[in-house]
Every structure is written in C-alpha cells, then in structure tokens.
Amino acid sequence: MLKGATIVVTGGAGFIGSHLCQRLLEEEAIVICLDNLSTGSLANIAHFANHPNFHFVEGDICQFSTCLKTFKGADYVLHQAALGSVPRSIEDPHTTNQVNVSGFLNVLEAARQVGVKRLVYASSSSVYGDLEESPKVESRTGNLLSPYAVSKYTNELYASVYQRLHQLPCIGLRYFNVFGKRQNPYGEYAAVVPRFINLLKEGKRPVIFGDGNQARDFTHVENAVQANIKALLAPYQATGKCYNIACGSSTSVNELFYAIRQAVALYDPRAIEIEPIYAAPRPGDIRFSLADITLAKKFLNYQPTHCLQRGLAETVPWFFHQEQK
C-alpha cells in the first residue's frame, strides 16, 4: 500500500531514520529524508543515496519554512528528528526544548497546512518517569524526571490537540531503548548498547552507572521500523493514540553487559576477561522499564521479531565489519 506514496522521514540520516528510509525504499515508496546532520550522518544513507526514489534535503525542523517546503506534496510524515539523551537535556534544556518541542510544533503545523494524510512520530519510554508500576501501560505515567521526558510528553499533548482541532491523524510510538547497527557509539551521550560494544571491541572497561540492576526493555531497531510501517497502514481508529514499542521483556544492565561481552568475544576472545567499572547513578535515569505491548499488538498488529539475543547477534558483527571497510 505504500508503493508510490511520498513519505518524509525527518531525521532520516539518523540511526532509526536511516533504517526507515531503507525499508520504505524496499516498499517502493518515494522517500524524502530531511536531516540537518547534527546527529545524523551521510554515511548512514550512503548505500541507498543514489536510489531513484530517494531524495535528501539538508535542513532543520527548527525552520518552519523548511518543513513547509519539504512536506509539500507528501502523503505521510515519519517524524524521527530529535535531540536524544536524558543527561544532555539536563545539561542543556533550552536546546532540547527548541528541537524537540518547537521543532515538533513546526512539523505538526507544516503537516497540517500541506494536508499530510498521517503523522507518525517518535515518543519515548521516558514519559513514564518515576512510575514504579511494571509493566508500563500507556494510560498511566509518573512524575517526569528530565527535560527530555518533558519534551516527549509535550509532543504527545500537541499531537492529540492537532488531531482533535485539525483532524490530522497522529500516532505516537513510545520507543524503549532502541539499538542496532548504525547507532553512534561515541560521545558522552551515546546509548548503552553501542557504547558497550565499542569499548569492549577496543579492550576497554565500560562504565555502569549505579549497581547495574536497573532494567530496560531493550528493543532492536527492526522492531521500531516494523511499528512505524504498521502505524502508517493501521486503520483510522488506531490514530490519536500512543503505543509502547518494545519486546515486552526486561534485562538488567549487568545482564546486558555480559550478553554483549559474550557476543564480542566471538570476534575477540580477550573481551571475555573485561569487567565493568561501577560509578554513581546518573540523575534522571529510570530504575525499571518494562513495556506492556498489548495495545500495539491490538491496534497496529505489532509483533516484535527481534529479541535481545537476536538483536545483538545482528548488531555486534556490524561494529567489527565497519572496521574492515
């Protein structure tokens, strides 16, 4: 059903966005990738950059005129552009708000003005805040713990208002700790999975903040891609809602470390001797995060295909193969 459809992917040169662009091209859609390359990379889209149905626009969602021009003629928008990282949002809340809130409002308003049929956007499990209840269900959230969480929750409120006021169908996807190939392992704001893989590959000891018993619902990027595609195709009654996108299983950071260490040791046996370093917990971090994915299964027909082990088996080799290129 997406064949011939024009779909804008904001943040399309980023980690999740580039995977979405690739899948949409496989579905024979016309893909417009909008990215300012602040966290995205041309390397992420290099292998399909010359595809006849692919068009790259270097631009910023913080510029409304850019959104308006890029969205003109589009059938759908998949909104992935954002500044991630809880710690970064605590250190620089103004920039997080500018990109994640004002930028998102630009995306919504441009989509409304040009008549986009549906907007699917990336939200986050961070909206559950300090809610101790497990698993997390979409109807209940706790006190928010970071400006990043505030920005994502604000996105959900704005999307709800735009659907009610302007009949712009919106679906929010609350990602839970997405990982996979093309994820940047460098910098102080790098996600835990690529950071652990890269450090172990280099023979270094990763840092675990806290006691390592904090748990996450680690979700391979292929599950996130599936959710976006199915959100585009879901019946209208599925719109106006947010959905947990995860595996529905919980893994502690300690367990994650040892699983990654074992996977890396297949390529470098010396990794099996490396132990982590423990440091003080970081402010704003959620202690336990496990998703109830019942609603996504019911309304989107979402069925995760990649558990943590399968996801790591597909992710770890990529980090070693990149070195050889």
* Residue positions annotated with a catalytic role: 148
Determine the Cα–Cα distance for residues 246 and 88; give it in Å rounded to an integer.
23
Q: What sign has the CA pseudo-torsion 235, 164, 225, 32?
A: positive
Nearest by Cα to 39 from 97, 80, 86, 98: 80
Nearest by Cα to 249 from 316, 304, 313: 304
Nearest by Cα to 282 from 200, 198, 177, 211: 211
Which pair of tokens denotes residue 230?
A: 């199915």
**Number of neighbouring beta carbons within 10 Å of residue 52:** 7
